[in-house]
Amino acid sequence: MAKAVKIPSLEEMREYLKEYSADPLHNRIYDADHAAMHKEMTLRIFSVDMPDDVKITAWKFCKALTNFAHAPVSSAEYKRMEKWLPETALIDVLLKACDGYYPNPAFKYDFDTIGFSYSIALISQSQHRRADCLRLLDKITQYYVNTKDDWYTVLLRNMTKLVKDFPDLASFKSALETI
């Protein structure tokens, strides 16, 4: 019999973080659940309304992100997202969760640049609602072109690594190269 997946609600995540912040010794168990709940991207994802079956997939995705020590750099790291491509409902959630979120260019602890980077890598490779994916990527690209925040280099690397297989990313790569 398969073990049931316990998915915390958004309110449980917020309460956990509130209790964690109030505890000066941070007496918590440091496991994948803790790491996932401690990410801004997890909170953004679970702020999106979704059915329970999608919550299971989203929680597995968030927990998978805790295994990564940095934003994707190599082609193999970008390929990690291929297994999530069939999860079209997750792509729908990520399109909403990433819209309007721009990681702090100083890579501060309270911002989840790793989760955002891998989410953008997944969206960049998805053919599901491709026009919406490209619209979001354009919005994010224009934000970094206009602000010139340092995080643009991570987005540029994303476009550079993926443009060969996804030529429709070329305009974003070119725009980011102007910074």
Q: Which of 179, 162, 178 is CA-nearest to residue 120?
A: 162
pLDDT digits (tens, 9 = 90+) for 125-144: 999 999 999 999 999 999 99
Whether residue 137 contacts residue 120, with contact meaning beta carbons closer than 8 Å, is answered with yes
Identify the band that residue 110 occupies on the pLDDT scale cut at 50, 70 and 90: very low
pLDDT at position 106 = 65
**C-alpha to C-alpha distances, 58 to 89, 92, 134, 135, 143, nearest whole angstrom:** 9, 11, 21, 22, 26
pLDDT at position 150 = 85
Percent of the chain whose predicted confidence (pLDDT) is above 90 = 65
Which pTM value belongs to this model?
0.88
pLDDT at position 105 = 65
Mean pLDDT of the chain: 89
pLDDT digits (tens, 9 = 90+) for 9-63: 888 888 887 887 777 766 666 677 878 888 889 999 999 999 999 999 999 999 9
Whether residue 58 contacts residue 95, with contact meaning beta carbons closer than 8 Å, is answered with no
